[in-house]
Amino acid sequence: MLIQTKALVIKENNVGEVDRLVTLLTEKAGVIRAFARGARSSKSKTLSATRLFCYSSMTVWASADKYVIREAEPIEVFFELRDNIEKIALAQFFSQACMELAPQEESADDYLKLTLNCLHFLAKGTRAAEQIKSIFELRILSLSGYMPSLEGCAKCGKPEADVMYFNTLSGELCCESCGAQGERIAPGVLSAMRYIVYSNFKKVFSFNLSDESLAELSRVSERFFLAQTARDYTTLDFYNTVRGT
């Protein structure tokens, strides 16, 4: 069966002399591993289209036990990522998260849109890396069934307080008078989290925060991400090492 789909290369491995085995986040078939035969030969048309973080239009042959890329035409190659170790490291964390959380062999349109937009802003440098990373973490968790509950205190329902507490294990808020359980978060940071989780995707990158609040948002989002996924992310450790945090 031939599948015509848009796809982002989220991992690449060289196989043999000229072949490449890539992991793709595709619009129509979710995360798949596909062979690009002869992709590393200089004559190959699929050479650039199957490089890491290249977004391409592809024709993929799907048989019972494997996928083979027949044709690939690059749409966007995210060149700006290549020369910056910090950006590459963050992009690799996005890739690992997609491999863990995005569906396999079924439509993953929303995951692809989220990841492409994050790579776009990361490549252009028009948003702080911490902002992009928090958006990615909170939105991918929401897509995969771990949406936090940010309407108000889980016990008394109070929507606002001078200080709220966020439980990264339950994904719930708690106010001071109900026991102050979880991480203390400032009102501005809570607003940003609500904006990220509940706003229309088209607007999700359009908010501003002070550096201090952004750092807090980033810390809480990362802890929530790790608590919910309950896995080690080597790419995240590497990113934090590169950033020096």
Least separation in angstroms between CB 164 and Zn ion: 9
Sole binder of Zn ion in the list 6, 37, 113, 155 (CB under 5 A) = 155
Quick one: which of 149, 213, 220, 158 has its CA closest to 187?
Answer: 213
Least separation in angstroms between CB 163 and Zn ion: 12
Given the complex with Zn ion, which of 22 and 173 has the nearer CB atom?
Answer: 173
Give 189: exposed, middle or buried? Use CB within 10 Å, 0-12, 13-18, 19+: buried
8 A C-beta contact, residue 45 and residue 56: no
8 A C-beta contact, residue 129 and residue 84: no
Given the complex with Zn ion, which of 18 and 178 has the nearer CB atom?
Answer: 178
Report the alpha-carbon distance of residue 163 to residue 24 in Å, rounded.
42
Q: Considering only residues 167 through 226, tell me which ones interact with Zn ion, judged by CB under 5 A.
A: 175, 178
Judged by CB under 5 A, does residue 154 bind Zn ion? no
Total interface residues for Zn ion by CB under 5 A: 6
Judged by CB under 5 A, does residue 99 bind Zn ion? no
| DSSP 8-state class, residue 39 | T
Least separation in angstroms between CB 221 and Zn ion: 22
Q: By CB under 5 A, name the binding residues for Zn ion.
A: 153, 155-156, 158, 175, 178
